Structure 1
């Protein structure tokens, strides 16, 4: 099988005493990779590979590196150690409403976001009606994005990103938002994407969702990979550790 995601010796660190990554001087002056006062490793020495068409669930307590790992795979962050190789484009359902422009209309934002993710203009036009229908925003196409409710914004973002043709789907807790009817639509759409042979990389605290969509799991703790195996085994280990406190 083809390897879709290959992670080798991955490490990334942040500062506790200031927002964001290290400054430009640190990045371009050959700064030491050793942790300095005020810095911590969010991930360290993490290695695994994901085959094309696999469904991977990432579990762990808050602050253990799950979302950081997802952002590294999405190329939103760059590693300080090791490498992340992604073969094929990604459809990122992370920070789901990020990138939309408040003063632009729904119609304009659909064209903008789909275009930024590489969807050709003719494909945007062809899929526009289905995206609006999925988001339940018929009649709101000419409404400025900033006037939408939070629920409307999330529905629009999921609708656009889930229509991308990229082979790898990155999902970070997006199914935890919205009402039950919207979540059911999301579940059905993800089922359709998996049936097409897409690769799923899924971060969630929802055990039911993890068991439904994933066959394999990665358990992260304190920035390290504790267990890589069948999702049932990974969840059993995580729950046992959690119950021990």
Structure 2
């Protein structure tokens, strides 16, 4: 196994382990909103990291704005179902599956012997799995960027959950006609979608490293295949001479 193969396995392995940890925390409902935590963290969980229906447990959020007179207007929100969080769970399953496939195929490619069939049978699937992962990162990042316009404020977030068919119950405080028209501006939460878009591309730096690893493995495999074919052709010529 050459140095490129070793570094390829190390880099893919730590990413796979990180994806497995995030997937386990999210899919096993370990990231439920907790009392006393930052409101921004609770909002991030409600939009992406915690799906109440899948976890069979509600998530409560204290939603507060101030009217034009400065009086606080509060409501207790109970999201019974979050379609964006359900979609994020599906994305995690795709990510984890692609990571595991890329790691397994890269290990086979690194351990293959110097045979043309082994090179083609190991290098090409490994490169295809890596390319699929890179493409999925870009597609998911684009989807998170699209979500930015739906996550600009707390109000937009809950409207986004409701518009997707989610069940959001207002347990107290909210009037049937909605919130006061002269309510003070709500805190900006557009960073939620931007943060997930940034993370889905692995901070961009890791995405570029993956791209170069994929390219180098493909070119090395192609060069090795051509070298083996050339050696076989030279041997055949010697036998016929």
Q: Flag whether TM exceeds 0.5 (same fold).
A: no
Larger proportion of helix: 2
Question: TM class by shorter-chain length?
Answer: under 0.3
Looking at CA atoms only, which structure, 1 or 2, has the larger radius of gyration?
2
Larger proportion of strand: 1
TM-score (norm. length: structure 2): 0.26
TM-score (norm. length: structure 1): 0.26
User: Which structure is richer in relative contact order (CA contacts within 8 A, separation 6 or more)?
Assistant: 1
